[in-house]
Structure 1
Amino acid sequence: ALVQESKETLQRTEPHWPQLAQDGIRNVWIVKPGAQSRGRGILLMHSLADILALVQSPFIYETKYVVQKYMERPFLIYNTKFDIRQWFMVTDWNPLTIWMYRSSYVRFCSQEYDVSRTDEAVHLSNNAIQCKYRNGLRDHRLPHENMWDSDTFNAFL
């Protein structure tokens, strides 16, 4: 009876939580310090108590953080996490005028995705992080240098 009630509750929840399939059930949160770059200080955390202890620490009181629910089931390429680096330039606010550079590139993690691992090589695809790691056992179609140009990405899609 409990299993059936749980399934029914989940079914009633899904229309109100469209991201449920991506968000997952492991309670993973990504904590990013403000005014940082190159992946510095980014952590994956599972506990509200741990997050609060970090952001309320007297040693880092001036630091601001962005805390977001981590997508536990992201879109992957060959079971590997990636991001898309795209450039925009805002030249006016009123009226809002935005220019986009047509080319972009895709950056891959050096390790296959596994939500149970919390190390940065699995989750943070920026170059400053990935240059510290050797590529793990991944699909042979992934580039050794962990980058695709936009044409290669479009061909993949």
Structure 2
Amino acid sequence: MNAVLTSLVAVFATLAGSSLTFVFQRHTARQAERFARDQRLWHERIGAYSAFAAALTDFRRSQNDRWHLEQDDPDSPRSISAREASYQRRADSTAALCRVHLICGDSALIQLAQEALDATAGIHVAQDEEDRAGRGETARLALERFLAGASPQAR
């Protein structure tokens, strides 16, 4: 009888140990998966936010170039080329904004990104140099607001 009881205790202890090991391993695996997912999302956000900032900076530069060349001669080949380049930079910026939409999940941050794009898009319609400079500064500050809003997610 003593041998049977000892055997039952041993079997129970083995099952209990195996069960606890399984539970702890599953918990550890879930934590590792969550950590890996969070790291991927962090890298994706940094990439998306950086790409948007770079695209918007290029777009702002192209808008300034377009404005200056249109002031000299709106029908010149250089002016037409600058206009086409600004269209491409806007498309690049819009694509980068779409990536921000997909990865972000924060409506306030998405709104800041949209405001930065909208401010940049209006540079080329400035009436004079002072207006162009003001619009350019407004666009730059809008991008800074977006980056300030995005930086907590990038840390």
Bin for the TM-score computed over the shorter chain: under 0.3
Q: Which structure is higher in helix share?
A: 2
Structure showing greater relative contact order (alpha-carbon pairs closer than 8 Å, 6 or more residues apart): 2
With normalisation by structure 1, the TM-score equals 0.20
With normalisation by structure 2, the TM-score equals 0.20
Q: Which structure is higher in strand share?
A: 1
Larger-gyration structure (1/2):
2
